[in-house]
A and B are shown apart, each in its own frame.
Chain A
């Protein structure tokens, strides 16, 4: 129980400091979610909008994790799949 207090405080502060930095613009996370959804929908059949989580990294910077569930992969060809021309 006692060991948890300092760890909980560290976690709480980590979130608080990240929120302080990102909280400058309220819609930051929601617009990031929408953009991530738009990108992922080009490649997958998404079951629900993706979840975006941002936290402060151990060595500075940020850790951004995007979690999304998809029912299928969208099939399409890219120019990389085309046969290379022979010279």
Chain B
């Protein structure tokens, strides 16, 4: 089982969106996927995936011994992936979280949604993982925080650290008003495996718990999942993505 943490440092850059979309794409490719929410208190993976109303047990219940780990897993309605929701409050040690992830039923990928910041929650999520995906946007504050996170991740001696540049505006990149993903990767000295364009569909449909297949970012998420599955480091700047016109 490959354990991958999706982290960023700065909040609001799209960690949970990347976790959900990556998990679903890997599941669509035929892999057995579990997406775990490591954010205690500010858990949102269940909301983003739209399973919030079907959560019976969460990871807090597993640790407290109120249920078995497979009972806490919620089946995603958009894919074959399963979601391990986090509790809305309380404390959770890194050891306890790792214990739960180690006892998961057999699966190919465990995608861990890391909380924002670099405190206990970060340590909890990263210590249970073997690989990391750092998500950033092309903004100065997000890149600066990502740089600090990358420095911290190097101390964990993970097998691999990769970068996803999210919310890229191809029109601004073309006009030279926004940094290209290649520049961001060069600054952070981490190979990029995904460049996700800013997509209104994600903003709009995520509130409904699913992103439609015609969304502009779908192609980028497919390429990201392909990179993760095959351990490759290819990406395309979103300027190459064009939404197909429908002629009637």
Contact = CB atoms under 8 A, between A and B. Distances in A.
A interacts with B: yes
Contacts of B148: 20
A69 to B, nearest CB: 32
Contacts of A3: 176
Contacts of B147: 17, 20
A61 B173 CA distance: 27
Interface stretch (A4-12, A27-35, A36-44, A74-82): A4-12
Contacts of A6: 173, 176-180, 183
Nearest to B146: A17
Contacts of A12: 140
Interface in A1-25: 2-7, 9-10, 12-14, 16-17, 20-21
B234 interface: no
A85 interface: no
Interface residues of B, number: 17
A58 B186 contact: yes
B144 A17 contact: yes
B22 interface: no
Nearest to B144: A16
Interface in A37-70: 56, 58, 60
Interface in B156-200: 173, 175-180, 183, 186-187, 189
Contacts of A20: 144, 147-148
B225 interface: no
B143 interface: yes
Contacts of B140: 9, 12-13, 16
A13 B187 contact: yes
Contacts of A14: 187
Contacts of A16: 140, 144
A10 B183 contact: yes
A9 B178 CA distance: 8
Contact of A4 (B143, B144, B176, B189): B176
Contacts of B183: 6, 10
Contacts of B180: 6
Interface of B: 140, 143-144, 147-148, 151, 173, 175-180, 183, 186-187, 189
Interface of A: 2-7, 9-10, 12-14, 16-17, 20-21, 56, 58, 60
22 contacts: A2-B175, A2-B176, A4-B176, A5-B178, A6-B176, A6-B177, A6-B178, A6-B179, A6-B180, A6-B183, A7-B176, A9-B179, A10-B183, A13-B144, A14-B187, A16-B144, A17-B143, A17-B187, A20-B144, A20-B148, A21-B151, A58-B186
